[in-house]
Chains A and B, each alone.
Chain A
Amino acid sequence: MDPETRMLPGEVRVFDPAGLERLVEALVEAGYRVLGPTVRDGAIVLDEIASAGELPHGWTAEQDAARYRLRRRDDDAMFGWAVGPHSWKQHFLPARARLWRAAAPAGQGPPTIEEEPPPERPLALLAARPCDLHAIAIQDRVLLEGRYVERDYALRRRDAFVVVVNCGVPGGSCFCASMGTGPRAERGYDLALTEVLDGGHRFVVEVGSARGAELLAAVGTSPAREEDLAAAHAVTDEAVFRMGRSLDTAGLPELLAANLEHPRFAEVAERCLTCGNCTAVCPTCFCTSVEDVNDLADGSAERWRVWDTCFSIDYSTIHGGSVRRSSRARYRQWLTHKFGTWVDQFGTSGCVGCGRCITWCPVGIDVTEELAAIRARDGEVDRALAR
């Protein structure tokens, strides 16, 4: 018997760059729709890929507040970048999804509601980041683990195969080390890759599940040597110190609850365009609305679920009247939810430290800077209000 078929979760193996090609092939052969990073329109985005040739090899991205630039690396690294504008929620919770259709059966009779069929193939995520796994877990908590299950999300999420790639090149907006969500994945994957460049371009792979082991058997790997393990750990150990940003997370929910009238909210509101970019790129923001549309020709109707954002003025209303008319109130809702009330509502923080909201904010508002500013003048105003 081939020793590779006996691999177990927890085992560590090594393969070379060609192995990545075989990994994609194996996933396709196993029936997955393979999603992975690829370069398009000046960014590394996530889309269906047919081969490892579509991966962004030799590319990196410079990131900072309101800044994202692709740049050529001077090596052949496949994963020498952090995160792009996309996150996996685009595939589990798409920006637009039809939930059901109500049509009259051929001829007469009342319309009946037919739910959207499940996707034909389960998804395989190639090169999810450790922070992405935490983001997925947070959305699972909201949409799957409460009293009610979000059917569409559950069907897309079901059986998804996850290949995580540990981070060696954090972006300038990254602060996962502060949030405890990276740069190394601890769980929640089928396979975890670390790309090692020193001493030969190779991938050190940890098996996270039985099906991960099964798939890896088709890739062709060799056992990891002591120096492979050490090199892989060195990649993420060094990444911790190359985070572009950091955040003091101590007592954030309490800090924010006690500072709802903090002057910083009025200051940031002068810059905030309430465009909602931050909510669109945030891998955990889950707010949606529904659109009911009908076809005047045949009388059928459809329900679509669409992304919404707490930055829109009619996001929260009472009897049609907006509750948060000022941009100050809308920015406060987003920030206090993400870092504070999310914990009350779902038992976890809503932030994974991926930094996308910082990079893609058109005016460069930086959550780590905002939170630090609030902490610096903790309670000044609210204490005065409370008398």
Chain B
Amino acid sequence: MRSLAELIASSPVFAGLPDDDLDLIAGCARNVHFDEGELLAREGDAADTFYLVRRGRVALELHTPDRGSLVIDTADAGDVVGWSWLFPPYRWHYDARAVEGVSAIAFDGACLRGKCGDDPRLGYELMQRFAQVMVDRLQHARFRLLDVYGGIGVG
């Protein structure tokens, strides 16, 4: 069985970080499990944690008064859930729900945030990596706005 540090090192978001950084991040991490339907996070709650999914599927949901909870994105193995811990007001923007049994690594974002403040180099490194995650999600969201499969035509 691989150690938490090894698992973290092999994830796309942390791959290539120096060992010292990985040890420090692993120090803020723990294994967690969620049953089907369980919430990893709830919209509006303090965002002190983020997750790296190891197994299972997490749905990011937005609750609407008239249509209930709408899934806006999903995260699967290797994906990160949550970046609100990095930015004020440090509150979750969405619900994160386990669609099925989910194993994940939970990170203490409040703790990491403190370390980033103390060490701007680490802060910059993590900011870059999470910015990349956000850019990818933004690009995907924008692309989905095009509704490329729904295009109308003639013929």
- Tell me, rounded to whole Å, the shortest Cβ–Cβ distance linking B97 to chain A: 36
Whether a CB of chain A sits under 8 angstroms from the CB of B152 is yes
Q: Return chain B residues, CB-CB under 8 Å to A319.
A: 151-155
Q: Return chain A residues, CB-CB under 8 Å to B155.
A: 319-320
Residue of B nearest to A314 (CB): B154
Residue of B nearest to A319 (CB): B153
Q: Return chain A residues, CB-CB under 8 Å to B151.
A: 319, 321
B residues 124-155 near A (Cβ < 8 Å) are: 151-155
- Tell me, rounded to whole Å, the shortest Cβ–Cβ distance linking A383 to chain B: 29
A317→B152 CA distance, assembly (Å): 12
Residue of A nearest to B148 (CB): A319
- Tell me, rounded to whole Å, the shortest Cβ–Cβ distance linking B58 to chain A: 34
- Tell me, rounded to whole Å, the shortest Cβ–Cβ distance linking A31 to chain B: 44
Number of A-B contacts (CB under 8 A): 14
A320→B155 CA distance, assembly (Å): 7
A281→B59 CA distance, assembly (Å): 62
A residues 75-134 near B (Cβ < 8 Å) are: none
Q: Return chain B residues, CB-CB under 8 Å to A318.
A: 153
A91→B151 CA distance, assembly (Å): 41
A320→B154 CA distance, assembly (Å): 5
Q: Return chain A residues, CB-CB under 8 Å to B153.
A: 317-321
Residue of A nearest to B152 (CB): A320
- Tell me, rounded to whole Å, the shortest Cβ–Cβ distance linking A319 to chain B: 3
Q: Return chain A residues, CB-CB under 8 Å to B154.
A: 317, 319-320
- Tell me, rounded to whole Å, the shortest Cβ–Cβ distance linking B17 to chain A: 32
B residues 67-106 near A (Cβ < 8 Å) are: none
Q: Return chain B residues, CB-CB under 8 Å to A320.
A: 152-155
A319→B150 CA distance, assembly (Å): 11
A321→B152 CA distance, assembly (Å): 9
- Tell me, rounded to whole Å, the shortest Cβ–Cβ distance linking A316 to chain B: 13
A321→B150 CA distance, assembly (Å): 13
A residues 306-322 near B (Cβ < 8 Å) are: 317-321
- Tell me, rounded to whole Å, the shortest Cβ–Cβ distance linking A56 to chain B: 45
A311→B118 CA distance, assembly (Å): 64
A317→B154 CA distance, assembly (Å): 9
- Tell me, rounded to whole Å, the shortest Cβ–Cβ distance linking B73 to chain A: 27
A318→B155 CA distance, assembly (Å): 10
Q: Return chain A residues, CB-CB under 8 Å to B152.
A: 319-320
A321→B153 CA distance, assembly (Å): 7
A residues 283-339 near B (Cβ < 8 Å) are: 317-321
- Tell me, rounded to whole Å, the shortest Cβ–Cβ distance linking B41 to chain A: 40
A321→B146 CA distance, assembly (Å): 14
- Tell me, rounded to whole Å, the shortest Cβ–Cβ distance linking B155 to chain A: 7
- Tell me, rounded to whole Å, the shortest Cβ–Cβ distance linking A198 to chain B: 61
A318→B151 CA distance, assembly (Å): 10
- Tell me, rounded to whole Å, the shortest Cβ–Cβ distance linking B111 to chain A: 45
- Tell me, rounded to whole Å, the shortest Cβ–Cβ distance linking A317 to chain B: 7
- Tell me, rounded to whole Å, the shortest Cβ–Cβ distance linking A70 to chain B: 44
- Tell me, rounded to whole Å, the shortest Cβ–Cβ distance linking A313 to chain B: 13
- Tell me, rounded to whole Å, the shortest Cβ–Cβ distance linking B53 to chain A: 36
A321→B151 CA distance, assembly (Å): 9
Q: Return chain B residues, CB-CB under 8 Å to A317.
A: 153-154
- Tell me, rounded to whole Å, the shortest Cβ–Cβ distance linking B120 to chain A: 34
- Tell me, rounded to whole Å, the shortest Cβ–Cβ distance linking B34 to chain A: 42
A206→B154 CA distance, assembly (Å): 54
Residue of B nearest to A318 (CB): B153
A-B contact pairs, 14 of them (CB 8 A): A317-B153, A317-B154, A318-B153, A319-B151, A319-B152, A319-B153, A319-B154, A319-B155, A320-B152, A320-B153, A320-B154, A320-B155, A321-B151, A321-B153
Which 7 pairs across A and B sit closest by C-beta, in order of nearness? A319-B153, A320-B153, A320-B154, A319-B151, A320-B152, A321-B153, A320-B155
Using A317-B153, A317-B154, A321-B151 as known contacts, list a sample of 11 further A-B pairs with CB atoms less than 8 Å apart, ordered by residue number in A.
Answer: A318-B153, A319-B151, A319-B152, A319-B153, A319-B154, A319-B155, A320-B152, A320-B153, A320-B154, A320-B155, A321-B153
